[in-house]
Structure formats: C-alpha cells, structure tokens
Structure 1
Amino acid sequence: MGLSVSIVLIVLALIMTQKKENCVFCRICNEEEQSEILYKDDEYVVFPDIKPAARHHYLIVTRKHIRNAKQLTVEHKSLVEKLVQIAKQVLNENGADLSDVRFGFHWPPFNSIQHLHLHAICPASSMSFVSRLIFRPDSWWFVSPEYVMSRL
C-alpha cells in the first residue's frame, strides 16, 4: 500500500474515533467554544458554518451527541423533521430566500466532524464550483434529508 493511501487511512481512522469530549460541536452547544449562536433550545443549536458556501450557511446541530446520519434509526424520524424545520425558521429569520436553498448531511466516511449536523445553504445558486461539488445533493458524500428519511 502506498504511503499516501496509508496516510489517508490513518486520518480517516482518527476522524472515525473522535470522542464526544473532543467534539467541537458539543463544546459549542455547551458554550465552551466561541461561536455566534443563531438559535438554541434544549435539544438543538444553530450557528454559521466557519467556511460558508453561500451568504447563509448554517449548521443545525443536535445537543445530544449522535455521530452521524448513518447512526439514525426509525425512532429519529421526528428529529430529522425538526432539524429541517429549525433550518427553515433560522433561514427565514435571517432574510434568506427559501426557494433557493440546499439542505443536507455529510455521509460517512465523508464527514470531518463526528457529530450529526444539517447544512442549510442559501442561496444555493450562488455557491462556487467547488462548493457545488462538496455539497452536491445525493452524492456519495452529501445527502438530502429526504434520502436520510428514506433509509430510516
């Protein structure tokens, strides 16, 4: 196996073993890490993505540490619906046009943060070529809430 392949496998292994106590999203939810909080309640927190793909690029995060969308079960159907509902609410409150929005989850192993989060990106039409690739709907690495729901 080549050195570059070995390095990629090691990095993926480190990402996959990320522990809750080391999770930056858990720290943001617990206000131990600095971030602009756009919404919060007992179960969810919303904050801007640190590398926005569009003017409005928000992450809707569960306070409960769930590793990723593949961990969801049929019992989580209402959770996915609530993530989308909150995303629409925050986008609307911040003046976004909901007719040009992209929602999605990174699909393992293509996620760098091991904490469930929904991306809400608007206007989707303003994304760069690279962002359109990264956040390409229903690809191997980024999936829509509808796709996640269909797997529950």
Structure 2
Amino acid sequence: MSDCIFCKIVKGEIPSKKVYETDKVYSFHDINPEAPVHVLIVPKQHISSHNELSEDNVDVMKDIHLAANEIAKKLGISDSGYRLINNCGADAGQTVFHLHYHLVGGAAMGSKIL
C-alpha cells in the first residue's frame, strides 16, 4: 500500500533503526518505546491485520516467530523473558494497519494484561 507507514519503512522510504531483516520480515526499534527493549516485527508483504491472514499468506507467521527468537537472542533478552504482542483492530489498540508484532522486554513486567 502506497500510504502505509510500515510499507514505506520496509522500502527504505522512511528511516528506521533496523534490528533484523530476512527476505520476508523486517524488524526495527519502536520510536516510542514502552520498555527498555521495544522492537516491531513486520512482514514485508502488506497484510492489514491478523484478521487478513489466509492460506495464501499465513506462512509469514513462521517467519515472524523465528525472527522474534533471533531478535531476543541478539538483544540479550531471550533468557530473562519478553512479550510478543499483536494488537488486532482499533479497539485492541492497533494504530497502524499493517500486521506487526511488538517484542518488548529488558525489564521485569507485571502480570497486568494492559
């Protein structure tokens, strides 16, 4: 999508602080971090939300989760713990309608869901 901010980041049209990249996913530091480590993991293919996953594109979930493992190791939080969060829809807090996951960690987090 031409007006999608994450598509523009993936294409290099908007600068980002890259953390990890494969042929299918791109990961970068969140510009408004909510934890010492706050990274976004996005598929390079535009998929609006988790609801748009289908038989044709669901394989990207494997790539996202494998990327999360590698990123957690790279950033030194794989042993201490982290959260992998997806907001699906406006009421859940999704503000950019390009499927993405927040990998957050680097500090002890409470059990509070929100």
Asked if these proteins are the same fold (TM beyond 0.5), I'd say yes
Deviations 1:62-95 (A, max 9, x none): 1111001111124544321221110110121111
Q: Relative contact order (C-alpha < 8 Å, sep 6+): which is higher?
A: 2
Write the deviation string for residues 82-132 of structure 1: whole angstroms up to 9, x where unpaired: 2111011012111124442111211112311010111111136247x7xx5
CA distance in 1, matches of 2:64, 2:21: 12
User: Letter of the aligned partner of 2:105 in structure 1?
Assistant: C
SS class of match (1:38):
strand
Deviation at 1:43, TM superposition (A): 1.2
Question: Normalized per residue, which structure has more strand?
Answer: 2
Aligned length: 111
Distance 2:21 2:59 in 1: 18
Q: Which residue of 1 aligns with 2:106?
A: 123
Matched, 1:59 2:18: no
Q: Percent identity?
A: 27
SS at match of 2:2: helix
Counterpart selection for 2:2 from 9, 14, 21: 21
Q: TM-score, normalised by structure 2?
A: 0.85
Q: Which of 20, 42, 61 is 2:23 aligned to? A: 42
Q: Which runs of 5+ in 1 are unaligned?
A: 1-19, 134-152
Q: What's the Cα RMSD here?
A: 2.0
1:104 and 2:56 are equivalent in the alignment: no
Aligned residue identity for 2:95: S
In the TM superposition, what whole-angstrom CA distance separates every residue of 1:23-47 from its partner, at most 9, and x where no partner exists?
1111110001011111112211000
Does 1:90 find its partner at 2:74?
A: no
Larger displacement relative to structure 2 (117-126 or 80-89): 117-126
Partner SS, residue 18 of structure 2: coil
Does the 8 Å CA contact 2:47/2:99 hold for their aligned counterparts?
Answer: yes
